[in-house]
Amino acid sequence: MTNLIGMKLVWIPAGEFMMGSPMSEAQRHSTEGPQHRVRISKGFWMGAYEVTQQEYLAVTGNNPSIFDLPVESVSWEDAQGFCRRLSQKDGRTYRLPTEAEWEYACRGGTTGPYAGDLEAMAWHRENSGDRTHRVGQKRPNAFGVYDMHGNVFEWCQNWHGDYASSPEVDPQGPAGGSYRVLRGGSWGTDPRLCRSAVRVGSTPDGGNSEVGFRVVCVSAPN
């Protein structure tokens, strides 16, 4: 669907996946485990692309970016404000994806380090020319979502914390913490940090030229 400001969203169906990375995955970090089964019980609409500067400007009247193209240099708090304003404008409920929703959508049914050929799907340190690129120029994953590997890191809704060791349904993450989750790697990171399971954290008021976001819509379209 396409919403009021022209943002394209694609449907992510309900399903199950193994969240995190297996012990055998190359360059794995301990924060990516234990790998455990997660069920996403309800489908949702997700931005086909990272939020662009044009979209951010249309909703907030402000453009904090250093580069042109996907919006970046936004904090988790900025992203929350965008979601609130977009919800008011569009009459549907928008929010950041949970970490589980993000990884499920990123993988698109795959189980390896990446959701396909990384060079075909991602802008990272070795091919980006030290800058962001226009959204949607690389190959999408099986769900039709672009740039989940590389271009800019993406904020998730929940706090950064340890994973559960048993199966979960729609996990929301820990109740509190110091850092919010960032996923996906960026134009400035080593390719290994673009893996589907990589997770890092930053303070909610943090943000730099490698950090952006995408939204999910949890209200039925008209």
Q: Each residue of 38-78: pLDDT tens digit?
A: 999 999 999 999 999 999 999 999 999 988 899 999 999 99
**pLDDT value of position 68:** 83
The pLDDT value given to residue 62: 93
Going by C-beta distance under 8 Å and a sequence separation of 6 or more, which residues neighbour residue 156?
Answer: 96, 97, 98, 99, 102, 180, 181, 182, 183
Superfamily for 9-217?
paralog of FGE (formylglycine-generating enzyme) (3.90.1580.10)
Alpha-carbon distance of 184 to 99, in angstroms, equals 11
Q: Pull the structure tokens for residue 66.
A: 């250093």
Beta-sheet pairing, 36-40 with 168-169: parallel
Alpha-carbon distance of 114 to 106, in angstroms, equals 9
User: Of 62, 75, 69, which is closest to residue 207 (Cα–Cα)?
Assistant: 75
CA dihedral sign of residues 125, 162, 197, 3: negative
Q: Report which secondary-structure segment, H or E, holds 182.
A: strand 180-183
Q: Which two tokens stand for residue 41?
A: 């019980």
pLDDT, one tens digit per residue, over 144-168 is 999 999 999 999 999 999 999 999 9
Q: pTM for the whole thing?
A: 0.97
Of 126, 129, 103, which is closest to residue 17 (Cα–Cα)? Answer: 103
d(CA 109, CA 164): 21
